Chain A
Amino acid sequence: MRMRSRLLPGLLVLGLAVASIVPSADAQKRGGTLTIVRPTDPVSLDPNLETTAPGAWVYFNMLEGLLTLDDKMQVKPLLATSYEVMSPTKVRFKLRPNVKFHDGTPFNAAAVKFTFDRALRGTPPARWASLAGSLDGAEVVDDLTVDVVTKEPYGPILRTLAMYCMGIVSPTAVQKQGADFSRAPVGTGPFKFVEWKTNTHVIIERNNDYWGDKALLDRVIFKVVPEEGARMIALQTGDADMVLFPSPAQLPALRKDSKFTVHETTGIRVVFAGFHAGMPPLDDVRVRQALLHAVDRKAILDNIMEGSAGPARGVLAPGVFGYKDMQLDKLYPFDRAKAKALLTQAGWTPGPDGIMVKGGQRLSLSWLAARGRYPKDGEITEAIQAMFKDVGVEAKVQVLEWAAVFQQVRANPFNHHMFTLGWVTSNADADYSLYALFHSKQVPPTGWNTSRYANPRVDTLVEQARRSLNQTEREKLYGEVQDILAKEMVWIPVYTTKEIIVTRSSVKGFHIHPVEYNLALWKTSVEK
């Protein structure tokens, strides 16, 4: 059944042309070694076993997927050149011809099928299987054509395939190397693997047979330096050219120093104070809105985050597909009088100790938070607690270790009014967040609707958007969801994370990506 004419106007071509390097004002030199220091060694260099940053930073430069996200968060072709929606559960990809894996074997449709089979049907399945939603596998059509199949119509399929961990691996190498593949992966990327000395360094070098523009650097050395202070000293002495996870306290000084460049961009994680909307008194939308008015979010950004985070304009980060500015500053400006008025409307009156009361009940909220899971999570929780007090709301904060908080928020029932959490839209598609966080059937332990939010209209919209492969339509549906959420607010969005990397100023051509894992080094060079 061909549905492309109904779903999409004709054939969508992502673009075949490989942009040739535009010589920039300061022409970059080929050659040189880039030394990077970061806190931890990878778990593995195989996406099947590793989806966290220490491994992803390395393999992102060696393995390539069918699609990728550029630093403007747009889907771009990589190993695929074009796609065509065949049916709601099948997307056909034309593959790039004459591409070879680092071991010399050809990249083709069979390799795509092999990679997906290995990840989705292996025992156990790949660590990223949970991130891939309905992805079911791939079918070979001919040597350079492959059908990607989903279990049900799945709108986020393109951004799923563009995730950092979807790199296609060489079937020959996997079969030959067995378990050792996870320490020396073979892909098609601009860099290839050289050496991994556990807890010391990983070295990759330029792939001179790369199908596209070849990387500028000869080599990249990823060193492990666990101690933050020692990492910053290594940058200063020149032992390192690039620091991942720099010390936030030193950023203001580094920004002023011409020897260093601070690269920063808005990330894709939103950190928020969540409400349990099913638990009185937070089931009353006026109380929730009052609490939003009570919080001076700008003061938190300026005084606690000190430039290391961006404002949260909604429940999604701006780089995510489907994001809509929820206009929170306009809808819920910091206004204590407004907050108190809303509480009065909801029947609360000031009690003897300044805390609001209604029917003999004090307006007291229990709040679960961890410290150190997200930047300054403990501090922002305490700041909001103090701001609540100014409008007559008491918050009793319980701070526990992250693993313990995690266990409680994943449980049903959840016995706190509030919780401090962060959420990253891993595949950069609104579905990933709006479905899992706000669909009424996604209450833990199934999903992440920790707010116990239930609105049949939102349920319909997110289901419809998930099943549609028309991206314009999806964007509109998600816009409506965010409009509804803006009225019913079950979170106080506090900040959007920033990705920050510091290099010595001799490092040229490096562009930081909103997705932490996408550390692209092939356009980077070092002048020494």
Chain B
Amino acid sequence: MLTFVVRRLLLAIPVLLGVVFVVMLTIDLLPGDAVTLMLGEHATKDAVAKLREHLGLDKPFAVRYLDYVARVARGDLGRSIQQNRPVAAELADAWPATLELTVAALLIAAAFGIAAGVASAVWPNSLFDALARLGSLFGLSMPIFWTGLVLIVIFSLWLNWLPVGGAGSLSHLVLPAVTLALPSVAMLARMTRSAVLDVLREDYVRTARAKGVGEILVLARHALRNAFIPIVTLLGLQSGQLMGGAVLTETVFAWPGLGRLMVKAIFARDYVLLQGAVLVFALAFVIINLLVDLSYGLLDPRVARQG
């Protein structure tokens, strides 16, 4: 078990190196660079050259890549090009907000998605099932920035129940978390429905019912536990989705998280800051995937035995 975890974490290193390489190359290939954007239209040639040199942007790509990797290996994420502030400090300001938002959205998605899915599976083709499927279609099709604005208009402008944006209290969290969760609720509901339906058709469920186990126990002990493996896999994937969606949600709701930080870094061509943020995201993905894999062992003893 421990060797498994350690091996997986070591495997993350080449993944992160690759991520940094791709991000850095993409920024490098984009037209426009950080210095001309920082100094604006009126900058003199001399000023541009001096600042480029100061920031090390005059060095070739390979040198900059190796410099960066070497620094990160020593635990130094560098200073942001624009703000001249340690990237670690910028990230420390931003990641708790994104974590809070994603976890809240994940909880909403899991609670409502799984509940709706199970209900649909237990009463297939009922009115509830039809409504849930219609709702899922809606949740999957609407872009986050649109649902976000609609929710703001309804709950902030018309009803005046919740704040327009920003962070601070629980009431600030409601709208962005719900907006972010909606597509995942829809996805999980559909996935849970089909997974539970499949399991309910299995022989062992019929056996359980035949020996007189109550319907609730059948669902909880036999059906759900087996249906959970695809659901947990999807939850893992969804948490990745949620982090991606956070970029849009954070913008609509003025949520001070990593997504906004990344957008800012991209527009400013601030590759040092962007890489810091991407590294955090990449690391989060690696950890989530690891947790999903570990959870299989808890859910299915056969996986655990194979080690």
Contact = CB atoms under 8 A, between A and B. Distances in A.
A40 B156 contact: no
Contact of A224 (B45, B156, B254, B268): B254
A498 to B, nearest CB: 20
Given A230-B253, A403-B32, A182 B152 contact: no
A223 interface: yes
Interface stretch (A110-118, A127-135, A471-479): A127-135
A179 interface: yes
B40 A51 contact: yes
A197 B256 contact: yes
B163 A230 contact: no
Of A123, A130, A233, A423, chain B has the most CB atoms within 10 Å of the CB of: A130
Interface in A424-459: 424, 426, 436, 445-446, 448
A428 to B, nearest CB: 13
Interface stretch (B83-91, B201-209, B220-228): B83-91
B31 A407 contact: yes
A237 B252 contact: no
Contacts of A197: 93, 256
Given A49-B83, A179-B85, A234-B165, A401 B31 contact: yes
Interface residues of B, number: 46
B164 interface: yes
A51 B47 CA distance: 14
B160 interface: yes
A19 B286 CA distance: 64
A298 interface: no
Interface in A16-71: 40-41, 43-44, 49, 51-52
A125 interface: yes
B264 A230 contact: no
A424 B164 CA distance: 34
B157 A223 contact: no
A198 B90 contact: yes
A230 B84 contact: no
B51 A403 contact: no
Contact of B252 (A200, A224, A227, A423): A227
B32 A233 contact: no
A404 B31 contact: yes
Given A182-B83, A226-B251, A239 B31 contact: no
B32 A404 contact: yes
A225 interface: yes
B167 interface: yes
Contacts of B42: 130-131, 426, 436, 448
B149 interface: yes
A158 to B, nearest CB: 19
A130 B30 contact: no
Interface in B223-276: 251-254, 256-257, 260-261, 264, 268
B194 interface: no
A183 interface: yes
Of A234, A401, A402, chain B has the most CB atoms within 10 Å of the CB of: A234
Nearest to A425: B42
B153 interface: yes
B82 A230 contact: no
A407 B32 CA distance: 7
A447 to B, nearest CB: 9
B141 interface: no
B39 interface: yes
Of A52, A198, A200, chain B has the most CB atoms within 10 Å of the CB of: A198
Contacts of B7: none
A197 B256 CA distance: 9
A279 B254 CA distance: 48
A320 to B, nearest CB: 14
Contacts of B41: 406, 423-424, 448
Contacts of B152: 229-230, 233
B264 A41 contact: yes
Given A183-B85, A426-B42, A236 B167 contact: no
Contact of B84 (A51, A182, A239): A182
Contacts of A406: 32, 36, 41
A327 interface: no
Interface in B21-44: 30-32, 36-44
A415 interface: no
Contact of A124 (B40, B54, B167, B264): B54
A366 interface: no
A223 B32 contact: no
Q: Which 6 A-B pairs have the closest CB atoms?
A: A403-B32, A199-B256, A124-B54, A198-B93, A200-B256, A225-B254
11 contacts: A124-B50, A197-B93, A198-B93, A198-B94, A198-B256, A223-B166, A225-B254, A230-B149, A230-B152, A401-B31, A426-B42
Given A179-B84, A229-B149, A406-B36, 10 more contacts: A49-B84, A124-B47, A182-B83, A199-B264, A230-B252, A239-B163, A402-B32, A403-B31, A403-B37, A426-B42
